[in-house]
Homo-oligomer: A and B are copies of this chain.
Amino acid sequence: MSDIARLAGVSPMTVSRVVNGDARVREATREKVEKVIRETGYVPDPAARILARAGGGRIGLLYANPSNAYLAEVLSGALEGARSVGLLLLIEPSRAGAPDEEREAVRRLAAGGAQGVIVPPPLGESDATLDAIAKTGMKAVVLAAPALRDGLISLRVDDYGAAHEMMRHLLDLGHRGVGFVEGRRDQSATPDRRHGAQVAVDAVTGATMWAEAGDFTYRSGFEAGQRLLARTPRPTAIFASNDDMAAGVLAAVHAAGLSTPGDISVAGFDDTYLAASVWPTLTTIRQPVAEMARAAAVILGRGGEEDGPVPHEFIARESTASPSD
């Protein structure tokens, strides 16, 4: 860094300011420094930055295995958000369902000097993690989960509204008997989604919704799909509360010798990688996960308190159509 400073004819501190996007640097100076940086290919040393900020400027990202499908997006978003506000991202593996490990992960982040922590699902609804965070006094942003404790900031889509919208879509297509596959009972999005779907159905005379239990896995979707297809009258559409289960429902439909969307429309929720790769591709609700993670990093950095629902997006694909009769 001092080399850069010398080459640009300024002090190291000014270089630091330029690198960190400090506003109080004259345009001419900034350009001079940036030019030298570009020419030399200088990149600041992350370790030194962390150290110098000692206690400040770091945030943590917890992650647990089950959030598999999200991880790449969460990571990218958080990394980018952290970079944009000049924060360092400490990444720490945790393990949902193993309270000791969850606590240890939080403790590590705190020991690492994180002032804030991003908590993706399913950790955001885990008492062990939440309590440990509260104890350290770190700020926390939970993703896709409600703010279960005071002081928590929640970034999530409006599950109720999104489910309502999806069910509305199915009803508008003309479906009157619709199956619904619920998610895990211990996640608060589950009742929200079901409720949204139910309210949409109740608003249409002659429409009925049959709900079946599920646990967000492909397999549970497959089984719930089989149960729904065995009903008389048979539903003409099935709305599963996540994509994995919707894929399972799709398999059940095919296994029953029926086609999608010809005989049965199928809808999912989340817009994970799976939604666009199964056949037919799934009509679903997109949660802007990367965007949420980026926002979380920015909130933790700037100390902002932006709460409230994140906008979701209805994604129409091939798996829904009007009933054939």
Q: Residues on A close to B: CB < 8 A?
A: 41-43, 45-48, 50-51, 58, 63, 65, 67-69, 71-72, 75-76, 79-80, 88, 90-91, 93, 107-108, 111-113, 217-219, 222-223, 244, 248, 250-251, 254-255, 257, 259, 273-274, 277-279
Instruction: Name A43's closest neighbour in chain B (CB-CB).
Output: B111
- Decide: A72 near B65, CB < 8 A? Known: A111-B42, A254-B251: yes
Bound CA span A47–B112, Å: 9
Bound CA span A39–B100, Å: 17
Contact A76 B47 (CB under 8 A): no
Contact partner of A277 among B48, B219, B254, B255, CB < 8 A?
B219
Contact A279 B248 (CB under 8 A): yes
- Decide: A218 near B51, CB < 8 A? Known: A76-B65, A91-B79: no
Closest CB in chain B relative to A1 CB, distance in Å: 12
Bound CA span A79–B88, Å: 16
Provide the residues of chain B in CB contact with A257, threshold 8 Å. Answer: 257
Contact partner of A278 among B51, B58, B113, B218, CB < 8 A?
B218
Give 4 nearest A-B pairs by CB, closest first: A43-B111, A47-B50, A254-B255, A254-B254
Contact A47 B88 (CB under 8 A): yes
Bound CA span A325–B45, Å: 66
Contact A277 B76 (CB under 8 A): no
Bound CA span A42–B278, Å: 48
Contact B46 A75 (CB under 8 A): no
- Decide: A68 near B65, CB < 8 A? Known: A251-B251, A274-B218, A278-B219: no
Contact partner of A68 among B47, B72, B88, B254, CB < 8 A?
B72
Contact partner of A58 among B47, B217, B277, CB < 8 A?
B47
- Decide: A46 near B91, CB < 8 A? Known: A251-B250, A251-B279, A278-B251: no
- Decide: A41 near B111, CB < 8 A? Known: A58-B47, A71-B75, A244-B277: yes
Instruction: Name A274's closest neighbour in chain B (CB-CB).
Output: B218
Write 22 A-B pairs (CB below 8 A) sorted by A numbering.
A43-B107, A45-B51, A45-B113, A46-B88, A47-B47, A47-B48, A47-B51, A47-B113, A48-B51, A63-B72, A65-B76, A68-B273, A71-B72, A71-B75, A79-B91, A218-B274, A219-B278, A223-B279, A248-B278, A248-B279, A251-B251, A255-B259
Contact A277 B79 (CB under 8 A): no
Provide the residues of chain B in CB contact with A111, threshold 8 Å. Answer: 41-43
Closest CB in chain B relative to A322 CB, distance in Å: 21
Closest CB in chain B relative to A316 CB, distance in Å: 18
Bound CA span A69–B72, Å: 9
Bound CA span A107–B41, Å: 8
Provide the residues of chain B in CB contact with A43, threshold 8 Å. Answer: 107-108, 111-112
Closest CB in chain B relative to A92 CB, distance in Å: 8
Bound CA span A197–B183, Å: 40
Instruction: Name A113's closest neighbour in chain B (CB-CB).
Output: B45
